[in-house]
Structure 1
């Protein structure tokens, strides 16, 4: 039934990715601040840090790479007209995505200026998900996957040290922060969806493990 919210599983019994939590968070932010997600990020982060390659777009742009979706149509560009920050039509360069990771690596402080409260960064990037009987489930902060105890279904590679955190994008984009190594790593894609035979979990875990293997060398 539409417009009905219900709990699918008791807390700690399962891990399920659903957009409803993000939608609820967006609505809370809008009602309490009277601003959109885009307004807040532009005013408090993007503009102060000089970001010029990160934004939500409602129309096709010459300098933006198209997101390729499985389709028989020639034009793969399917973009939402909402630029409030609520939809998956945000574009960012590898450089600025890495800098976003660096902001979190430095707990919100760049060049002696605190752009985001340190407490907020630490809450977002530390373990917040409830303890579950199944220890192999992914572990989460707030919107970030975090590395705590070994977990078979974690999105973060086995070799990546505890205390690291990672966030994923609509097209498989991956931003990994490894505080133990003072390191930020980014990979970028522009294709949505998984081709036949593609093992998503193995692939995204291999990213972090490859980074760690490079450090060992």
Structure 2
């Protein structure tokens, strides 16, 4: 009887965590008239088949101002997108991997300056490519080993997966340990620290360091150290069967129309739910919802704490969200540099959607995006499942969210 009671209590607690409060733009200190324009604009863009559907969320100073879903989670099944629809957030996962590393840094188990080979001996003796001409490759040992910081800033020189497992991001058929062993034997594309190159293999390697330093599987570390403390009850690496019905389908454009994507995309056919997958994907593996992600971003805005639960110290949040790439051309958008697994707005051209200098963010391959603007005390989440370009819809939402801020930037 007691075990049933405890299980029931756990279930009720989960429901409490999962349900967001009613959105109130006025209470949040935003212009309610401007906020009210967001959902109709998103619907119009979905109706025009720019995307299948969206979930959009805005929080200001910790209060929910807007949470709306428009369009379809599954067009063919006439299944509407819902505010609690689950999506694959893809590379937004990288922020969580970075936070996991920082937790271990705070525990004295990892240093940002550590050579990767200290934690993963298979990385010893790496080579760097000097030149490649007519099929002839010249290599040498790098001037220094790659470090944890190099991995977190995408300046390690680690390239794509080797040809033998080049489809691992689609099939997910190797364990993280097996994959990183292969990654370790590939030559670097350039001397560590000298260039910026977005590196999925580098972030996967960070995830493997989390496993080795913590003694826990990567997905278990996220579950127990991040998701559970923040009440992120719909966030997973491997989505449980009872939640498959809430997953939004993935779409791509063909002959001008949206059609479901097949198996030849990241993580394979979305509606096969990664059946049989072994790879935990620290670079792209998380499923989540808008409200779950809002907890994550609010924790970062709060300098590492949410609802009395401390995940990171203020100093760790500060070092993660500071530009570390200097004058290197970094990031996917103009005007940004890179922190430790976060893109950071550093120049005026990066503010064209209304972001403040110092805003930190990250997107995902299927169009998802989230940001924290410390100057405006604003958090935003944009969820979509679009294998092509969803940026026009995303940027419309960002501009509208920022336009609702009443107070001038500090």
TM band (smaller chain): 0.7 to 0.9
User: Residue 219 of structure 2 aligns with which residue?
Assistant: 38
TM score, norm. by length of structure 2: 0.44
Deviation at 1:25, TM superposition (A): 1.0
Q: Which runs of 5+ in 1 are unaligned?
A: none
Deviation at 1:199, TM superposition (A): 7.7
Structure 1 distance, partners of 2:279, 2:365, is 16
Moved over 4 A (4+): 133-137, 202-207
- SS in structure 1 opposite 2:316? helix
Q: Which runs of 5+ in 2 are unaligned?
A: 1-160, 163-184, 252-259
2:304 touches 2:310 (CA, 8 Å); kept in 1?
Answer: yes
1:157 touches 1:204 (CA, 8 Å); kept in 2?
Answer: no
Q: Does 1:91 align with 2:296?
A: no
Deviation at 1:101, TM superposition (A): 0.5
- SS in structure 1 opposite 2:361? strand
Q: For structure 1, which segment, 101-110 or 122-131, has the greater mean C-alpha deviation from structure 2 after superposition?
A: 122-131
Go from structure 1 to structure 2 and tell me whether the alpha carbon gap of 1:108 and 1:9 turns closer, same or farther (over 3 Å shift): same
Deviation at 1:108, TM superposition (A): 1.1
Go from structure 1 to structure 2 and tell me whether the alpha carbon gap of 1:108 and 1:205 turns closer, same or farther (over 3 Å shift): same
Q: Does 1:176 align with 2:371?
A: yes
TM score, norm. by length of structure 1: 0.78
- Higher helix share goes to which structure? 2
User: Residue 19 of structure 2 aligns with which residue?
Assistant: none
2:239 touches 2:287 (CA, 8 Å); kept in 1?
Answer: no
Deviation at 1:67, TM superposition (A): 2.7
Aligned-residue RMSD, C-alpha = 3.3
* Structure 1 counterpart of 2:401, from 201, 208, 211: 211
Structure 2 distance, partners of 1:145, 1:204, is 16
- Aligned residue pairs total 207
2:295 touches 2:306 (CA, 8 Å); kept in 1?
Answer: no
Which structure has the larger Rg?
2
Structure 1 residues 1-217: aligned runs within 5 Å: 2=162, 3-8=185-190, 11-13=193-195, 15-57=196-238, 61-68=244-251, 70-71=261-262, 77-80=271-274, 81-82=277-278, 84=280, 86=282, 88-132=284-328, 138-151=336-349, 157-191=352-386, 193-194=387-388, 198=389, 200=391, 204-215=394-405
Q: For structure 1, which segment, 35-44 or 62-71, has the greater mean C-alpha deviation from structure 2 after superposition?
A: 62-71
Deviation at 1:181, TM superposition (A): 1.4
Structure 1 distance, partners of 2:396, 2:337, is 17
